[in-house]
Amino acid sequence: MTTSPSAPIVLILGARGRLGLAATRAFAQAGWQVRAQVRPGATGPAVPGVQWMAAAPGDTPTLAAQAQGAQVVVHALNPAYTHKAWREGAPSLMDAAIEVTRALGATLMLPGSVYNYGHAMPPVLREDTPQAAMDFKGRLRIGLEQRLQAATRDGDMRAVVLRAGDFFGSGAGNWLDQAIAKDLARGRVTWPGPLDVGRPWAYLPDLARSLVRVAEERHRLQAFDTLHFAGQQVTAQQWVDVLAAVAAEQRWVPDASKVRVDRLPWPLLRIAGMVMPTYAALADVRYLWSTPHRLDNTRLAALIGAEPHTPFEQAVRRALHDLGLLAPVRPQAALA
Q: What digits encode the pLDDT tens for the residues 125-159?
A: 999 999 999 888 889 999 999 999 999 999 999 99
**Which of 61-65, 123-127, 278-282, 329-333 shows the lowest mean pLDDT across its residues?**
329-333
Average pLDDT, the chain: 91
Strands 188-191 and 9-13: unpaired
For residues 91 and 143, what is the distance between their CA atoms, to the nearest angstrom?
Answer: 9
For residues 199 and 93, what is the distance between their CA atoms, to the nearest angstrom?
Answer: 28
Q: What CATH number was assigned to the domain covering residues 9-165+204-231+292-309? A: 3.40.50.720
Q: Please say if the pLDDT value at position 335 is more than 60.
A: no
pLDDT of residue 148: 97
Q: Please say if the pLDDT value at position 1 is more than 70.
A: no
pLDDT of residue 311: 97
pLDDT of residue 327: 60
Q: Please say if the pLDDT value at position 224 is more than 90.
A: yes
Query: Biggest alpha carbon distance in the chain?
Result: 72
- Phi then psi for residue 283, to 5 deg, are -65, -25
pLDDT of residue 265: 82
DSSP 3-state of 90: helix
Of 88 and 210, the structure prediction assigns the larger pLDDT to 210
Integer angstrom CA distances of residue 102 from 53, 71, 138, 204: 19, 11, 26, 27
User: Which helix (H) or strand (E) segment is 191 a member of?
Assistant: strand 188-191
pLDDT of residue 149: 97
For residues 40 and 260, what is the distance between their CA atoms, to the nearest angstrom?
Answer: 44
Q: How far apart are the first and last CA of the chain?
A: 48
Q: What digits encode the pLDDT tens for the residues 106-122?
A: 999 999 999 999 999 99
User: Residue 189, Cα to own-chain centre: how many angstroms?
Assistant: 22
pLDDT of residue 269: 67
Q: What digits encode the pLDDT tens for the residues 149-187?
A: 999 999 999 999 999 999 999 988 888 988 899 999 999
pTM of the model: 0.93
